[in-house]
Structure 1
Amino acid sequence: MKFALGILILFSTFGPACAQNSILKNVLSDANVEVEYQKECGSPVAESQTFDRRSGRVVEIRGAAAIVFEESPDDKNSPPEKYVVRPAGIDVGKNEAEIRSFLVKNVLGRNVVIIGNTAKNEDREFFGIIETQDIKFPDVNRFLFEKGMAVFSEPAYFYSVSRYTLCVYRQLEARAKADKLGIWAK
Structure 2
Amino acid sequence: MSIKAFIDQVKGFVRAENIITDEALCFALSTDASVYRLIPKVVIFIETLDEVKAILLSANNYKVPITFRAAGTSLSGQAVSDSVLVVLKNGHWREFDLNISKESVCAGVGWVAGDVNKQLAPFGYEIGPDPASIDSCKIGGIVANNSSGMCCGVAKNTYHTMQSIKFTLANRTEVDTASKASVSR
Shorter-chain TM range is: under 0.3
The two structures have a TM-score, normalised by structure 2, of 0.28
The two structures have a TM-score, normalised by structure 1, of 0.28
More helix by share: 1
